[in-house]
A and B are shown apart, each in its own frame.
Chain A
């Protein structure tokens, strides 16, 4: 009799602990759907949520607010997520400051808020980002080294005034300051747009002779290399590129035409969204951020390492790996759950 009671008791307990598998509702706010990068970011969050469910035995209910909206529209996204009772919000913020008030309201309601890709200063929000300045620095350092520390270069930067661009250019300028023999003979914006990049590059190639190197960012590099391949300038400059399958293929083409052509692709991982999700899960599971690891402009950023760089030496390997991938496929990377846990106390 008592044994049966014991069995029943243990069964009940077992069922209880099984039945109350933790369940979280997590909202995702994405303010721009016009780029492959953002698509990969959203996909990464979806896939990683499924993985986490399996790894940790918890349930994740994802709610997406995924549309191209202005800042008021993104505030509406945040409000709608709150009204749907989310436990956490992963947001790629469309503005550095304008969403602070809306997000602080969410934090006040006990919602975990993680900003990815773009650091913001809202109180109680944690940023999960790569170090954009370091991203710019790595590109500039590669170019300076590849040029042997001298030559004329042009810069085609991203969205002027956008924080990511300004941070990257700060890193670039720090590096270039150490190379007095590298002359910046032209600087324009390609607005992170392939077509704009191509047009701007064509114009600059036509008006500026003897360019040795081009420093640019992701989002424009394919357009710029296309402009180079069309114009066939002498000398044929080397350039910094982007970690997209399409760029790698163009790079291969340029290298076959001009054996001296070199490039680099520094990964800017769309998986940053998934990394943010992993950090959010740690916080929802009761983790406390290790304050000593917080840095960034507002002292609330957790820096995810830049996954890797591709140089001429690795090009063949990556061309093979991404042979069937569409041009818009980005090289990616995200942190593991253990890495997310290492951000906690």
Chain B
């Protein structure tokens, strides 16, 4: 394998990063105020919740699973969080509510983990089913959209620290969190289980436990995504996460993670979300007629998904020719 090949194999996020650079280039060309502090902040804080969710999705996919209930978990934690707080909650109360929210996410993830790792149910079907349980619970907790969040909390989310948007710190923290997790034994085992679970088991990895853990981790990240989302929108809605599940999976794949597991990483997923979001800006600023916006959006995403695969295919054919 060529050196480039090895580089790309070890850093699956390089190709997505290139795609992102192209997307940003086009965006900047179309939107001259792209680098204005306010515009950057607007973009980043829209991206952050889905980025957190995509990291969660990446973890479970790396371990060879998939989680179709992440959006419902976001809705559930969002409703729990806003129900526990009010417009004039203090810091301690907010921290408490966040902890409860993370606990609920972990618990929901544990339900998924039990079904998949212990009862050996199919991940797709299981998490599809539990998504209705979580969504139903969310609807029972908050039947009508509403609830209020302290203004200070939503203001903080939109604020700057040392001229840098708070959301940028959030993204940095997210990446650090992932890098730390990856270095742990659990992190290594995620790849082992997703790559070849029989081999992993033979070398002493407790496959069931790792699988279980991957779903719990996804639940926790879903909860964190819900908290970021709540800070962004300042309210609760039992269906708020509905559309985020598929986006999170698309982002993971865009980010170079193999759906079968074992290869890829969460940084790619973070980049994937950024790409998806920038594509939307491009469509907006390119002045594409309203009736074609959805079509063009989908075509660009498809091209971005297919691009790396095509390059690989062409290279392989050329090698075969030699």
Contact = CB atoms under 8 A, between A and B. Distances in A.
Contacts of A79: 39, 42-43, 46
Contacts of B238: 161
B290 to A, nearest CB: 4
A68 to B, nearest CB: 7
B90 to A, nearest CB: 21
B294 A97 contact: no
A92 to B, nearest CB: 13
Given A64-B290, A67-B297, A95-B145, A76 B277 contact: yes
A98 B235 CA distance: 6
B127 interface: no
B240 A95 contact: yes
B284 A65 contact: yes
B240 A98 contact: yes
Contacts of A100: 234-235
B145 to A, nearest CB: 5
A292 interface: no
A235 interface: no
Given A76-B46, A98-B235, A33 B240 contact: no
Interface string A55-98: 00000000111111111110111011001100000000001111
B285 A84 contact: yes
Contact of B233 (A28, A33, A67, A99): A99
Contacts of A80: 281, 284-285
A80 B281 CA distance: 7
A76 B39 CA distance: 10
Given A67-B293, A80-B281, A166 B233 contact: no
Contacts of B144: 161, 163, 166
A160 B42 CA distance: 32
A66 B139 contact: no
A260 B243 CA distance: 44
B259 interface: no
A169 to B, nearest CB: 11
Contacts, number: 105
B42 A161 contact: no
A67 B294 contact: yes
Given A101-B233, A166-B144, A83 B294 contact: no
**Chain B interface size, under 10 / 10 to 19 / 20 to 34 / 35 or more:** 35 or more
Nearest to A33: B294
A42 interface: yes
A101 B234 CA distance: 7
B244 A70 contact: yes
Contacts of A161: 139, 143-145, 238-239
A279 B253 CA distance: 45
Contacts of B236: 97
> Which among A42, A69, A80, A166 has the greatest number of chain B C-beta atoms within 10 A?
A80
Interface in B10-58: 31, 33, 39, 42-43, 46, 49-50
A9 to B, nearest CB: 40
B146 interface: yes
Nearest to A70: B243
Interface in B123-151: 139, 143-147
Interface in B198-239: 229, 232-239
> Which among A69, A77, A161 has the greatest number of chain B C-beta atoms within 10 A?
A161
Contacts of B239: 161
A83 B33 contact: yes
A289 to B, nearest CB: 25
A68 B284 contact: no
B240 A83 contact: no
B39 A83 contact: yes
Contacts of A69: 243, 280
B280 A73 contact: yes
B89 interface: no
Nearest to A28: B290
B70 to A, nearest CB: 13
B83 interface: no
Contact of A98 (B31, B237, B283): B237
A66 B291 contact: yes
A293 B11 CA distance: 62
Nearest to B47: A72
Contact of B235 (A63, A65, A97): A97
Interface in B238-264: 238-240, 242-244, 247
A316 B284 CA distance: 44
Nearest to B238: A161
A313 B233 CA distance: 48
Contacts of B49: 72
Interface in A150-170: 160-161, 163, 166
> Which among B147, B239, B281 has the greatest number of chain A C-beta atoms within 10 A?
B239
Interface string A99-127: 11100000000000000000000000000
25 contacts: A30-B290, A42-B290, A63-B287, A66-B293, A71-B237, A72-B46, A73-B243, A75-B232, A76-B281, A80-B281, A83-B31, A83-B33, A83-B39, A95-B237, A97-B145, A97-B235, A98-B145, A98-B233, A99-B233, A100-B235, A101-B158, A101-B232, A161-B145, A161-B238, A163-B145
- 8 pairs of A and B residues whose beta carbons are closest in the complex: A64-B290, A97-B235, A98-B233, A66-B290, A70-B243, A79-B42, A80-B284, A76-B46
Interface of B: 31, 33, 39, 42-43, 46, 49-50, 139, 143-147, 154, 158, 229, 232-240, 242-244, 247, 277, 280-281, 283-285, 287, 289-291, 293-294, 297
Given A79-B46, A95-B235, 12 more contacts: A66-B294, A67-B293, A73-B243, A73-B280, A80-B281, A83-B33, A95-B145, A97-B234, A98-B237, A101-B233, A101-B234, A161-B145
